[in-house]
Structures are given as structure tokens and as C-alpha cells.
Amino acid sequence: MLQDVLLQYQSAFQPVIQLLDPAESLMAMDFTRNNTSLTMSVLEDLDRFCRYIDTTLTDNGYRLGIGGYAEHRTIYAVSPHFDAGEEPRRLHLGIDVWGLAGTPVFAPLNGHIHSFRFNDHFGDYGATIILQHQLDGYTFHTLYGHLSITNLQGLYENMPVTAGQQLAFFGVPAENGGWPPHLHFQVIEDMGNYRGDYPGVCRFSEKEKYLRNCPDPDLLMQLNKHIR
């Protein structure tokens, strides 16, 4: 299984987000209904939402916040992008790292550009890059969402990318889908027919199918061990 291969090669992966030092701690961020401080009045006001993220991190002494894989989130109720059809999409398939706009993002291993796109809808990824990798006979992909639109300049499909190469940085809300600055990082085995996009949130009824195709991104990121 892909999960086993990623676990086997963990020591060789480069950081997706570089820590200031090996002892830097990350703050666990909760976007479920259990977080009663994150009200709809905050979510519906982008300036307030940005201030909420900033003050939550700084008041607790953190530079970065992290969380979200397989999290059933209430925050998506703010955007019609997640509510098409009879059942809304609420289950998050990636890991989010929250921090300042301009925070650098790096490729964890060798690969090439699979596809990229500016997904310019409210609540969407905004600027998005997808890499394709091969490891021990497995082909898989890593998705980087909520980037700066400038990060798409000069890219082309099949463009080689090397481990440790700076790929992008956190975009501002105007170019990242209308969110406080952060990275959405997701591992995807089978991309199907998607290019420059792939669901980062699924319906709860489709949980097993999507989680099977999108294993825990921390197998690559290895950041959860820094949560304090």
C-alpha cells in the first residue's frame, strides 16, 4: 500500500514547511463544531476570520497552526462551493498549515508538475499546484492549495521538481480562495481525470472511498509530532 511505502521512506523526505528549529512547536487548530469560538459571524467576515487565526496563534506563542485531516468541519457552511447537491461536503481530506502570507512551501521529494490552475471561486483553492511522484513502483500526487498566483508563473506540465526545492508560498486571501493565509497539503494516489484540481473536502457518505485514495499527508509532512 502507498501508506507503507511513504512510511518506509520518511527519513528521506524534505520538509514541506521548514521549521525555525527542530524544537519548534505547532498549535493544533480545530475547525469542527467543538470550537465554539469560531462562530458563523467570524467565518462570514474575512477580516475577522484572519484576525481570529492571527490572534489565536500569537496569543498562544505559536508561529504556525496545523490540523484538519479527516476532520468534519463546520467552516465550509460559509461557502456555497461545498454545498452543491443534496449532501454538503464537510470532511477535510488534507492537512492545513496556518501562518503568515509569504510562508515558503517546499517539495518533499523529486517529481514533476502534473498540473496547476487558479481555482478562483470563493472558498476554493485559489492558486493550486499538483506534483506527480514515483516511489517503489507507486505513482502518487501531492496537492498544494491556497498559494500565490505568482507561483503559477513559468510552470509547465512535466516540469521537473527536485526534493527541497521551494515550490510556492502562502497566498493572500484575494488569490487563495478567500481564506486566511495557509497551505492545504494533500496526498492523492489516483487523480482520475482531474487536472489542476481535486476535491479537498468530500461528503461524509463518501468518506471511505476518499480517505483510501488520499492517505494521511503527515506521512510526508511529519509535522504532527511537533504539536504541543
Task: Please write the tens of the pLDDT for every residue from 91-145.
Answer: 899 999 999 999 999 999 999 999 999 999 888 999 999 999 999 999 999 999 9
Please tell me the distance from the alpha carbon of residue 49 to that of residue 2, in angstroms, as a whole number. 36
Task: Please write the tens of the pLDDT for every residue from 195-219.
Answer: 999 999 988 889 999 999 999 999 9
In a domain, 94, yes or no: yes
In a domain, 209, yes or no: yes
Say how many residues make up the chain. 228
Across residues 31-51, what is the average pLDDT? Answer: 88
In a domain, 227, yes or no: no
Asked whether the predicted pLDDT for residue 25 surpasses 90, the reply is: yes
Contact 187, 141 (CB under 8 A): yes
In a domain, 24, yes or no: no
∠ Cα 212 217 220 (to 5°): 125
Q: How many domains does the chain have?
A: 1
Asked whether the predicted pLDDT for residue 75 surpasses 70, the reply is: no
In a domain, 216, yes or no: yes
In a domain, 173, yes or no: yes
In a domain, 37, yes or no: yes
Q: 18: which 3 cell numbers?
A: 521548514
Q: Residue 218 maps to which CATH number?
A: 2.70.70.10
Task: Render the burial of 141-173: b for 16+ CB within 10 Å, e for the rest.
Answer: bbbbbbbbeebbeeeeeeeebeeeeebbbbbbb
In the 8-state DSSP scheme, what is residue 61?
A: T
Q: Which domain holds residue 202?
A: 2-18+29-222
In a domain, 217, yes or no: yes
